[in-house]
Structure 1
Amino acid sequence: MIGDKLFIHVSRILVVIMLLTSFALNPGPAAASEGGPTLELNDLIAQAEALKAGNEEFPLQISRTDDGSDVNQALPWVYADELEDLDKALEFARNPQTPSGEAIASLEDAITIFSGQIKADGSDPYFRLDPGPGKVPVQVTAPTNVWTTRTPLDNRVPADFAGGTHQVIPYPFADSQGKSDVLQINYAHNGKTTFGGITLAAPLSPAVNVKEGSTIEFDVYYPKSAQGKFMRWRIRTNNADLDSYLRGYDYNNLNPDWVGSYNGETWLKAHHSINASTGLSSNFILELHGENGRPAETGMLLVANIKIFEPDPSGIALPDVVNKEHQSAVAPLKSVYNRENGHFMVGSIGTGPVTGTRARHYEIFVDGNNLKADSTHPRGPSWLRSVTGEPLNGATTAPGLAEYNFPTGSYQAIRDSGTPGEYKSHAHVLAWYNQAPAWMRQIIPANLPSGYQGTARFYGLGNGVTTTVKVDKESARRVQFNHTMTVMRHFLTTDAKYGSSEARGVIPFNSWDVLNEEVHESRHSETIPTDPNSWRASLKHTNWLVAMSDDLIDGDIREHYIYLLFKYAHIAAPNAKMAAAYKANYADLPEYMKLDGHDNDGSIDAYIVETPPKLTYNDYDISSRTKARTAYNMIRELNTAWLSDPLYDGRPLIEDMGIQGHDAVKETLASDNQYAMALYASLVDQGLLSGIAFSEFDLKLPTGAPGGGATAPGVLNVKQSDALGYQYALMYKLFGKFAPYIDHIISWGVAGSGWQGSYVLFDSQSNANAGYYGAVNPDRFILGHSYLDDFFEGEYEKLQDDYAIDLGDLGIYSIGGPKAPVRLTGSDQVTAGSSFDLVYGLSRVQGNVLAQDVTISYDADKLELAAPPVSTDEAKFAVVDYKAEPAGTLRILGVHFGAGQTNPNADLMKLSFRAKEQAPAGLTNIEVARLVTADSAGTETVHSGTVHSVQIDVIDKAGLNALIAEAQSAHDQAVEGKLVGQYPVGSKATLQSAIDAAAAVANNPKATQAQIDAAATQLNAALLAFQSSVIVKIPTDHNGDGKVSIGDLAILAKAYGATSTDAGWEQVKGFDLNGDNRIDILDLAMMARMIFEW
């Protein structure tokens, strides 16, 4: 036939195209059967029509020449006669006279043939048909079960294995039929100067020459109670040059596909696949070791099914991918993703002058090491002493600049590259459990015991600790306070005291990692299922950091070392509000903050930063849902406590959550990252976080990836390349979805390799790879590589905008879900007698708006109008008139002009208020009590309002007492029930509890102003929640008679049988009580139950 040419074909293209077809199909009448049209045949007709059409990104092309010269052969196409054959099969299937069995068989054959005739030459980076399986792995050898101990490979593993033992036992689980014996390892770890572990060897049968592309596969069974305790495997096949190291070591499994029982415990299974080193081998060495910095622990695990596979020598190798477009020829990544177009900044690792790929594609940069404490603070201060007065080894330097080294040039070069402000820096990191100077690593708490014992009262050892010295908490705090102040102010100020100068100028930073990786690797997997709000016992408690809290570690949150670390960073880079609070509270600051000359007698005005760097907590494995939740809990509690701190500066304590993102294709699910990002986005929505960053992003190709895995950035085959691009596309689809919440995405590499053999967006020749194309246009890449859909198992569908993200006990999260259509922004704090401004605007109002009538209410005893309301842009909106009576009410009539009519969502008016001289201290609310808009047809729409709270500063209890009286009055006048105007049962008790808690503070003669203010904040929130809970409509009162009764059942019965596919569904879908898109007997039964319970 004409189309008989060499092209890449795929028999599965039927499924490929069907999964991605997004248009409506009308298959036409199916062939008749004895019982009429069949569902199976109609489905086949729909599939055939989908094949003919292709998808929205890649419609199927039809060539009417004999060589395909009239189509783009890089994209899917067929010859006209091939399409004609499918059309004939469709016509035969639709013929009412055709028996259904013949119609089905004929159409199935035609679909299979036509699928194989769809062609594409693979030259377009956005489209490829399935290139086939390549060389399928085949087993070549395996170790026998004759295991003996041998000399450890790693000299940190004790020669006696710390008492660890091994034996071969029968497979112990219930599914033992046909299972081989397993290797049982009884593991011990002495917890300090050595890793602990055990080293075993067994002969390979047969001996082999391990070839390139070979893998080692094995299963590990472990008790659920020991998740995370068995850490890393090292594997050697005979010779030192055949060493393989497994870095994916976490044993955490929240959704196990295998569960067993042994020794009275629940056991889980993890499968490992690792690239094998090449060469001649007759022996197999297996070493298990933990990590220093872990508490002493023992346990048992089982190892089974160890096998070595190599690519089938008789198979056909997949062709290598050829990346053709140089970085200088493709669109700059930063032209696709930047703040100006509503996205986020993109960046890469690397400091110094910005040139080449970095200059063209990225705008924010980071160095992986040069701002860590071992680099910036190598020498300790001579004032540092142990609790018994002895100096610390390495802490002998005269306090001040002599302690420090600064990588000034690295970041000054970024600042000075391009146009002013074109390139930005991200700083990594002030505090970490690793890469601290030796003098600092010695510090341990004076009172806490070593090793996790089930509570937060312990310290763990950071990496590299060999000797320990007890230091009191004030000294430990002074160390970190000085470190933070000096390092940050060296760059952010021009003060010579910090090694800066006027001539050099300020070196700005967009963001700064304050703390890195302090959530423990695995403990979260044990604590979160027990208590979803836990976090304190799931930290590493790095010894020199937790010494700042010591025996206060489980007490007042403001004494927690993480709270203090971030508080220091706020002081080091103060905004104007912090500077004012610092001066006002200077007398109450701890003495260690005053010992080393970081301010001018309490004033830090000279160090005010107009745009301070965003202060970030950074961690890895956030795609692990329990770890993501642990960090969420930590940020939520710390940032909530900061709101009532005397030094609160209007910024969240922890401003950004940094997600490292050293991910692996398919092993790290985009949907798991989505869960984490939804958690942190919800904190942004609540005002408890500023944003999210992906701080160290790259991707590994595990051995189980399509086309086989890879651990180095060499040439990939086409299937490996496609899988890499698909995962990058999924992730950038996710980033785009959360763009309003994301500050930046940083690739952990520029070209070639990322971290530990991962891949970034450009290959080692600086050509754009599949990851680049997936990042630039995620939807197009995924739709053009749909042969991988089954491998990625519905991940793309989970990233669509309408996908509701289940956060468990926190509810369902949807980006762009219901939000207030009106906003009040501006001052949240004012001194009695002073004026302040708010800006009123609309947001998320649908359709056009030509006029609006808005009523704003406020407490006239506390506030007064200071000036008439004025438009912020009179070309788009005008204040027609306003009325400021009765007292405490401001009613405004306004009209929209021009573009402001079709897009009314903008800031519209400035409102000026004044806090009265005698206004009591505390919160007062300014509320948009009523908003009515009208469109071009004069149709009026009533919208919900919003509330803006302002703190009036007067140091007394009058504000709290007034709020208590107001809340008590609201409580006493309210009636609980089910009717309109009543309040839900139990709501009064909840409010009364909040009133009682506030009264306890008000009646406490020792209560501080901060405690009074915190009580007012909590009571105000409870009062607002109570007031907003009033019943305004009975959901199932369909006839509007104020009750649920037989009349409502009758109205529901009229819609019986309707489904979501029926015309008019929008008018009746409110009767679908159980949300199953149909109105049936279940809905009637639910309504009947409501009548009985009314």
Structure 2
Amino acid sequence: MKEWKKRAAGVLVGVMAISMVTPVVGTNAAAKPKLSTKKVTVKVGAKKKLSVKKAKGFKVTWKATKKKIVTLKKKGKYAVNIIGKKKGNTSVVATLKKGKTKKKLTCKVVVKAKSVAKGTDSKPAATADTAAAATNAPVSQSAAPAVSATPEATVAPTSTPVVYDKPTDYVGIKDAYKDFVGTLGTCINTWQLTDSEAMDHVKRHYNSVTMENEMKPEAILPKSASDTVSIEEAKALGYDIPTSYVDSVVPKLRFDNVDAAMENAHKNGLRMRAHTLVWHSQTPSWFFQEFGGTKKVSEETMTGRLEFYIRNVMKHVMEQEKKLGVQPGDIVYTWDVVNEYLHRSGNPSWHTVYKYDDEDENKLRPKYVKLAFEFAHQMRKEYGVQDKVALIFNDYDTYFEVPNEIAVINFINENEPEKICDGIGMQSHVDIKRPTIDGEEGYITALKAFMNEGYEVQITELDMTINFDTDDTDGRRPRYDYRDEGETLDEQAVFCGNLMREILKAHVNRDKTKCPKGLTGITLWGLYDSISWRGKSEPLLFKSLTEPKESYMKFVAAPSEVAAELAK
């Protein structure tokens, strides 16, 4: 989970005026700052760079007079990207300051509607009838069917799409997507797995679940460093003690919530993504210190603990699958081995033991990240599930870090006899204005780049906020929290439909010789708005378990719309 993104598609041209509040002292006309262009026209979702020339020594801030029309993203000291947000006219003002000198340059901007491909609708579906022509047949109440670990389907749906009047009869999301992406999931907690109403909703729409917190290190490691046993006691309890382990005691791992989650998921015909083995956050600080002390441990000690933790968590899960009467990999089909390495923070943690500073040339060659995948891959080999269980590098804001994300994953697989990191998890906590859908740092550009490298992609934590502060303008840093910006659920629905259509088209049209698997799963991060971690910004497809939103209608319509477009 975490921070944020953009969206695009476009062109440019408009009108402008320059007004000087205070003359620049000691300069001639040729040296006066001026804007790079006087006219900008941009389509919704597209971006145009605007800069100030001859502004050396000035501090430049940017402001849009109508923030509902455009979003501004500062680029360096003297430039800004103007991103079309909503059809209309506005002005972008550059304020230049140097000492007591102040100057304003104003550029008028025209935002035009985004072109809509034939067969699509730029307006949100208003009724069940309008969505009826773009969704699949109704789904039964039975448990979700078993799906392969890396399903891929690109056959266009042939059934007549139907949506029913009663909310409880709306088409299941997994059924709408089954001809494109076989695994559709959601994020839940242990209590929701035992709530009959919640599970009716989950089984109708999903065939996969990700536990929001129950499989993170903080939930499995003991609460205190004092809760340990000797090596001999640990072996008697069934722990695997690797030769790399140098501590004299072993932390007692807690699996009650994991076992309950697995049992309930299996009972309800659901599979699970395991999130996550290694993360700088939600891992107790004592795990990086001497047990019972405060001194930071060495890399050697930490490597032993890393191997111990990964081997024993994965072993327990796969042995638990056997106890439930299935084979390893039948329930837990994916592991987020490392989470958010490129956005690591906090102290103490993995990066403070293995020491990778942002300026370090080894930043993109992190030893502990590669070790984590080596240990995880060894476990799936021991259980014979390497073709059944995916190992994923999961991160947020992947659209702004494409070269770095690829560099780290390539390093993980470097000099390995076989691929040990199967692909990338794109967390996808997106906002309707960040990231753009297309463009240099757009969502689809990133998705295509990862697939062009041959990597499987899983969308792991998808939600789509409105009224969420992502702007960096007027010297104000974004708060990445709720901010009333006048954005509507209708705007969310349009963005949702546009994004999902482009995602599916990128998956279908990928080079399958380079990337056989493509997009193998989509997980929405929560059941409905009010229980979302970003609830105020209404990021999900449902208001409640029984109230689908217009964004849901657009979400389930996308597969049939793409199928119809491909069939032409």
Q: TM-score, with normalisation over the residues of structure 2?
A: 0.58
Within-5 A mapping of 1:512-911: 512-520=335-343, 543-546=348-351, 549=354, 560-574=367-381, 579=382, 607-609=383-385, 611-624=387-400, 627-643=401-417, 650=418, 652-671=419-438, 672-684=442-454, 689=455, 691-702=456-467, 720-737=488-505, 738-739=507-508, 741-753=518-530, 754-756=532-534, 757-764=537-544, 766-778=546-558
Partners of 1:405 and 1:764 lie apart in 2 by 29
Partners of 2:384 and 2:395 lie apart in 1 by 29
The SS at the match of 2:341 is coil
Question: 1:617-643: CA deviations, max 9, x gaps?
Answer: 11111232xx12210122123223324
Give yes or no for contact 1:664–1:700 (8 Å, CA) kept in 2.
yes
Question: 1:203-246: CA deviations, max 9, x gaps?
Answer: xxxxxxxxxxxxxxxxxxxxxxxxxxxxxxxxxxxxxxxxxxxx
Confirm or deny that 1:347 pairs with 2:173: no
Partners of 1:399 and 1:441 lie apart in 2 by 13
Within-5 A mapping of 1:108-257: 177-178=20-21, 256-257=49-50
Structure 1 residues 258 and 383 mapped into 2: Cα distance closer, same or farther (>3 Å)?
farther
Give yes or no for contact 2:285–2:349 (8 Å, CA) kept in 1.
no
Structure 1 residues 262 and 404 mapped into 2: Cα distance closer, same or farther (>3 Å)?
farther
Equivalent in the alignment of 2:237: none
The SS at the match of 2:370 is helix
The SS at the match of 1:641 is coil
Structure 1 residues 542 and 681 mapped into 2: Cα distance closer, same or farther (>3 Å)?
farther
Structure 1 residues 565 and 769 mapped into 2: Cα distance closer, same or farther (>3 Å)?
same
Question: 1:472-518: CA deviations, max 9, x gaps?
Answer: 111010111111111111111259xxxx8578985731111111111
Partners of 1:265 and 1:566 lie apart in 2 by 48
Equivalent in the alignment of 1:365: 209
Equivalent in the alignment of 1:487: 313
Equivalent in the alignment of 2:169: 329
How far is 1:410 from its partner? 1.2
How far is 1:711 from its partner? 8.1
Partners of 1:697 and 1:272 lie apart in 2 by 31
How far is 1:555 from its partner? 6.8
The one of 258, 261, 269 equivalent to 1:407 is 258
Partners of 1:416 and 1:424 lie apart in 2 by 10
Partners of 1:271 and 1:489 lie apart in 2 by 55
Structure 1 residues 725 and 403 mapped into 2: Cα distance closer, same or farther (>3 Å)?
closer
Within-5 A mapping of 1:290-305: none
Structure 1 residues 695 and 542 mapped into 2: Cα distance closer, same or farther (>3 Å)?
farther
How far is 1:751 from its partner? 2.2
Partners of 2:421 and 2:209 lie apart in 1 by 21
Question: 1:658-706: CA deviations, max 9, x gaps?
Answer: 111111113321110111111110111xxxx3x101111111113799x
Percent identity, aligned pairs only? 18
How far is 1:546 from its partner? 3.2
Letter in 1 for 2:266: R
Partners of 1:399 and 1:383 lie apart in 2 by 6
Confirm or deny that 1:476 pairs with 2:283: no
* Aligned length in residues: 393
Partners of 2:208 and 2:55 lie apart in 1 by 52
Give yes or no for contact 1:566–1:653 (8 Å, CA) kept in 2.
yes
The SS at the match of 2:342 is coil
Equivalent in the alignment of 1:852: none
How far is 1:176 from its partner? 7.0
Partners of 1:637 and 1:265 lie apart in 2 by 42
How far is 1:406 from its partner? 4.7
Letter in 1 for 2:369: I
Equivalent in the alignment of 1:429: 276
Partners of 2:353 and 2:462 lie apart in 1 by 32
The one of 268, 279, 282 equivalent to 1:417 is 268
Question: 1:985-1014: CA deviations, max 9, x gaps?
Answer: xxxxxxxxxxxxxxxxxxxxxxxxxxxxxx
Q: Which one scores higher on RCO, CA 8 angstroms, separation ≥ 6?
A: 2
Letter in 2 for 1:437: P
Give yes or no for contact 1:258–1:268 (8 Å, CA) kept in 2.
no
Partners of 2:18 and 2:290 lie apart in 1 by 51
Give yes or no for contact 2:466–2:489 (8 Å, CA) kept in 1.
no
Letter in 2 for 1:416: K
The SS at the match of 2:415 is helix
Partners of 1:272 and 1:514 lie apart in 2 by 45
How far is 1:262 from its partner? 6.3
Question: 1:95-148: CA deviations, max 9, x gaps?
Answer: xxxxxxxxxxxxxxxxxxxxxxxxxxxxxxxxxxxxxxxxxxxxxxxxxxxxxx
Give yes or no for contact 1:693–1:745 (8 Å, CA) kept in 2.
yes
Give yes or no for contact 1:752–1:766 (8 Å, CA) kept in 2.
no
Partners of 1:556 and 1:711 lie apart in 2 by 29
Partners of 2:256 and 2:501 lie apart in 1 by 41
Give yes or no for contact 1:414–1:425 (8 Å, CA) kept in 2.
yes
Partners of 2:294 and 2:361 lie apart in 1 by 23
Structure 1 residues 416 and 557 mapped into 2: Cα distance closer, same or farther (>3 Å)?
same
Partners of 1:656 and 1:704 lie apart in 2 by 30
How far is 1:573 from its partner? 2.2
Letter in 1 for 2:213: N
Partners of 1:491 and 1:301 lie apart in 2 by 62
Confirm or deny that 1:439 pairs with 2:213: no
Q: CA RMSD in A?
A: 5.0
How far is 1:565 from its partner? 1.0
Partners of 2:450 and 2:379 lie apart in 1 by 25
How far is 1:355 from its partner? 1.9
Structure 1: stretches of 5+ with no match in the other structure:
1-18, 20-173, 181-253, 276-299, 306-320, 385-394, 445-466, 521-538, 580-606, 644-649, 783-799, 802-1094
Letter in 1 for 2:540: V
Give yes or no for contact 1:273–1:703 (8 Å, CA) kept in 2.
no
Structure 2: stretches of 5+ with no match in the other structure:
1-9, 11-16, 24-46, 69-96, 105-125, 129-163, 232-245, 471-479, 509-516
* Structure exhibiting the larger radius of gyration computed from Cα positions: 1
